[in-house]
Amino acid sequence: MTEPISLRELDAISVDQLQGVGEQRRASLEEVQIHSVFDLLTHYPRRYIDRSHEAKLVDVCPGQQVMVVGDIESVTSRRTRNRKSIVEASLSDETGSLKLVFFNQAWRSKQLDQGLTVALFGKVDLYRGHLQMTNPLVDLVGDRTGRIVAIYPQSGKAGLTTWDIGRWSTEALRRCQSRSIVDPLPPKYLQELGLLDRMQAFEAIHQPASMSDVLNGRDRLVLDELLRVQLVLRMRKMRRLDRALGVKHKVDDPLVTKFVDGLPFALTAAQQRTMAEISSDLNSDQPMHRLLQGDVGAGKTLVAMHALLVAVAEGHQGALMAPTEVLAEQHYINLYELAKGLEVADPTTLTGIRPLSIKLLTNGVTGSDRRRVVKGMEDGSVDLVIGTHALIQEGINFSSLSVVVVDEQHRFGVEQRAVLRERGRDDGKWPHLLVMTATPIPRTAAMTVYGDLDVSTLNELPPGRSPIVTSWVSQDVEQVWDHVHSEVTQGRQAYVVCPLIEESDKLDASSAESTRQELITGVLSDLRVGLLHGRLDAVEKHQTMAAFREGQLDVLVATTVIEVGVDIPNATTMIILSADRFGIAQLHQLRGRVGRGSHQSTCFLVATDEISEDATERLTALEESNDGFALAERDLELRGEGTIFEQRQSGRNDLKLASLARDRVWVERARDLAAELVDERGSLEHHLLFEDEIRWFVERRDDDAENLLRG
């Protein structure tokens, strides 16, 4: 064969086809998700050593941050009285020597064999008259020569070294050279964007002659990753627009006007703007496909209710699907209150009208209650239904579903949205879809994760909301419990959030059950303390939340089951234990459970043990800002990206090299390119190499390719 080799072909070649990869090595590679030659070539170096910049030991001075390369002369290890490990080693080059000390890294004694050549990066100190590096970065470089040395992610557990990966990558590229690697991007775009072709890019990133090679190779491979994602999103969107027909609604019905006029408060400008954007969508026979994102407490539920009422006003139905029973119940309570006094037309009654019917359907709704709700959904007597995954179970159908709201979209897959669409109507039309998230999304991430949706943003809080005061507590935890007593004395309530339900030997983190026990027998023994977590059955969860909502409990100890949507205006204190275990987005969501009323609210981030540098940055960010969008950008920088389309991949990451935080310009370019390459019918028939690659890209993620591309 002489045609260039495709990524599909590279993905079909097992790594055991490479020299030196026997059964044991293949198993080791599979532990780090390298199964095929494609996996190997996209297992990118994590950094590079420019050996022209290495310092000689004779030249280093105390206080410098330097990179040095040398041989390990000796290694010793010991334990202190409190069982902490200390590994000491001596490094030398032809000009001098340096002492190395590693605290709590016992495994270094096995890694650093005598005679091994290593590259170290760290700060040089003077200790007892000798130069010393403490806990430096260590890269094993062996006898590799060349100015630029690629350092790959290594796995001590799997027994893989950086030069193993480098040797196999070099062999794979050498064996590709006779045919080259296919490049589906037309030459004119390569020229316009100043990019290498794909084969050159792989060679530049694995075998660079200079750091500029690395940067040029990275640019091309970053675009590849982002473009594949953008093409899927663009194809999905264009196919939907090409064939889907929705229900065209009148958006100024008296029911909707009465709802808005009857609100006891003024809408924010952001709410008015997003309602207008959604109304414009609903007034079209093109089905809405919109993302509503807003910070915690920005009033998304009200905007969603407005959209649902547009459906109900003309005799159709609306549905809101939430990821948990607690959140579904909270939405039901809120929407039920908002719907009070609203009436809809009903020719079967004497007056020709009846109260708007809003029902809850979760797995906790059983027996005759469930049968009544399901029957009402089918015959149209239920106007609005709020529920969980129960809404898409077998045997659940609607009479005329025309607006669907999906809350916290990242918890649901494309397939689940498709089920709601298919069971909602029998005339082939698609319900309008509004996706809500309380997790503010940076613009580049929204373009990538939700690239097939139009985006509306609520970026201002309703009047009367006080900013939440956030404090990171590492000592003097007693002040936290004193604050709880003070707030309860004034008639307020508090949350205490723990990362685990029960004690775990593996994680040193506070558990909900043991925390509640400690509190009711200790510092909060005089208060009424409840418990809420995911293992309680639906009835227990409902009873606990009802008791807290009605003020029968002073403090609620909970897991992250309360992360989104729980709205108790009287709760003014949030205490998050082992706060270093949580990410920025989750901490911000949890904090948003307070500050729902007019009283000053406080959030305590409790992390009393020594914590990592990343955790320190997260907690500091939360202390400094209440702005969810600013925190989302910071989170993206700290955390990086995961899979784009679903949560359930077996460890596969759609973005291995690209960073949505760092590569904003390439996100924009990838989206523009996708718009040029995909035709109006959502096809790539004029770019067949891309069409095959995108189908492979979707299929290898264990998804139904047609379903994912259809959206």
DSSP letters spanning 333-356: HHHHHHHTT-EEE-TTSSSSEEEP
Contact 466, 302 (CB under 8 A): no
CATH architecture, domain 469-625: 3-Layer(aba) Sandwich (3.40)
Check if the beta carbon of residue 710 is closer than 8 Å to that of residue 235. Answer: no
Task: Tell me which residue of 314, 310, 306 sits closest to 262, measured CA to CA.
Answer: 306
pLDDT for residue 649: 34
Phi, psi dihedrals of residue 21, rounded to the nearest 5°: -105, 90
Map out the domains of the chain as residue ranges. Answer: 1-46+152-182, 67-145, 254-458, 469-625
Task: From 470, 487, 490, select the one nearest 620 (Cα to Cα).
Answer: 470
Regarding pTM above 0.95, the answer is no
Q: Rounded distance, CA 711 to CA 214, Å? A: 36
Structure token digits, residue 224: 């590849």
What is the predicted pLDDT for the residue at 231? 92
- How far, in Å, are 10, 431, 533, 646 from residue 361 at the CA level? 48, 19, 20, 25
**For residues 283 and 315, is the Cβ–Cβ distance under 8 A?**
no
Identify the H or E element spanning 293: strand 289-294
In this structure, how many other beta carbons lie within 10 angstroms of the beta carbon of residue 128? Answer: 6
Q: Which two tokens stand for residue 642?
A: 């995961």
- Mean pLDDT for each consecutive 10-residue tract of the chain (711 residues)? 89 93 90 92 88 81 86 90 86 91 87 86 87 85 68 69 87 94 95 96 94 94 93 86 85 91 89 95 91 82 94 94 84 89 89 93 90 94 93 88 82 63 79 83 68 82 80 90 96 90 57 90 94 83 89 92 73 94 86 85 89 86 86 72 43 70 85 91 89 88 56 53
pLDDT the model gives residue 644: 46
Contact 459, 295 (CB under 8 A): yes
- Does 67-145 match 469-625 in CATH topology? no
Residue 454 has φ and ψ, to the nearest 5°, of -75, 150
* Whole-number Å distance between alpha carbons of 260 and 550: 27
- The CATH architecture that domain 254-458 belongs to is 3-Layer(aba) Sandwich (3.40)
CA distance 448 to 443: 9
Largest Cα–Cα distance in the chain? 101
Residue type, 462: P
Strand 148-151 with 343-345, pairing: unpaired
pLDDT of residue 306: 96
The pLDDT value given to residue 8: 94
Buried b / exposed e along 165-180 (16+ C-beta atoms within 10 A): bbbbbebbbeebeeee
- Identify whether the C-beta of residue 324 lies closer than 8 Å to the C-beta of residue 541: no
Distance (Å, whole) CA 514 – CA 501: 8
Sign of the Cα torsion 372, 378, 382, 387 reads positive
User: Residue 25's CB: how many other CB atoms inside 10 A?
Assistant: 18
Fold category of 67-145 in CATH: OB fold (Dihydrolipoamide Acetyltransferase, E2P) (2.40.50)
Core vs surface per residue 27-57: b (16+ CB within 10 A) or e: ebbeebebbbbbbbbbbbbeebbebeebbeb
Sequence-distant (6+) residues with CB within 8 A of 602 are 468, 469, 470, 471, 483, 572, 573, 574, 594
